Amino acid sequence: MPVTAATAAPASRLARGLARAEFVLGMVSALLLVAMVLLTTIDVIGRYFLNRPLPGSFELTELAMGAMVFASLPLVTLRRQQVTVDLLESLVPTAWRRAQRALFDVVAAACMAVITVMLWTKAGHMATAGETTAVLQIVVYPLVYTMTLLGGLTVAVMLLMAWGDATGALDATASQAPLEHMGGGQ
């Protein structure tokens, strides 16, 4: 697809928006990871050297891990860093590979959409039941709703990738990030 003045501006805006989202989600994921490392370090020092473990550290780590995984999913998808098995890729004609990637993106989006709907339902049940963590009594459903929104964002990214693969707009291969092809990468 040739790039014209009419198609370059929307692609550029899309690239800038994706780059901003990539930065924010990357920072959130990194901060959650640092928090988990610090929390674990403090708990281990307290447990083994002072005989005073940090109360609720397991719960906090569990919550942070869930948040980090779902904050990272759109990034992993956008960068095409999922685990892939390409044993049969060499058997697929080169001309069909774009369509193959688009099909896989749609299937992955459908699977993630099912997970997202199930999470939304679970969050509703948790909110109704007033579910909290056992030790610190932290209300859990806001985090699960946040994970649901991040799952929805991942579905949107997957569908964007499918569109880009089908039309050639992103022209990305399994090892190249779409932002680099749209001028929004580093």
Q: According to the model, what pLDDT value does residue 11 have? A: 61
Q: According to the model, what pLDDT value does residue 60 have? A: 95
Residue 182 CA to residue 176 CA, distance in Å, equals: 11
Residue 132 backbone dihedrals phi, psi, to 5 degrees: -135, 170
State the pTM of this model.
0.80
Burial class (CB in 10 A: 0-12, 13-18, 19+), 164: buried
Q: According to the model, what pLDDT value does residue 9 have? A: 58
Burial class (CB in 10 A: 0-12, 13-18, 19+), 129: exposed
Q: According to the model, what pLDDT value does residue 183 have? A: 44
Closest C-alpha among 22, 123, 146 to residue 74: 22
How many other CB atoms sit within 10 Å of the CB of residue 104?
17
Cα separations in angstroms, 133 against 27, 59, 127 = 26, 7, 13
Q: According to the model, what pLDDT value does residue 171 have? A: 61
Q: According to the model, what pLDDT value does residue 63 have? A: 96
Q: Can you give the pLDDT of all 186 residues of the chain as single tens digits? A: 444 444 455 567 777 877 888 899 999 999 999 999 999 999 999 999 999 999 999 999 999 999 999 999 999 988 888 877 777 777 878 778 888 889 999 999 999 999 999 999 999 999 999 999 999 999 999 999 999 999 999 999 999 889 888 887 776 444 445 444 444 444
Cα separations in angstroms, 153 against 27, 41, 67, 72, 78 = 16, 32, 14, 11, 11
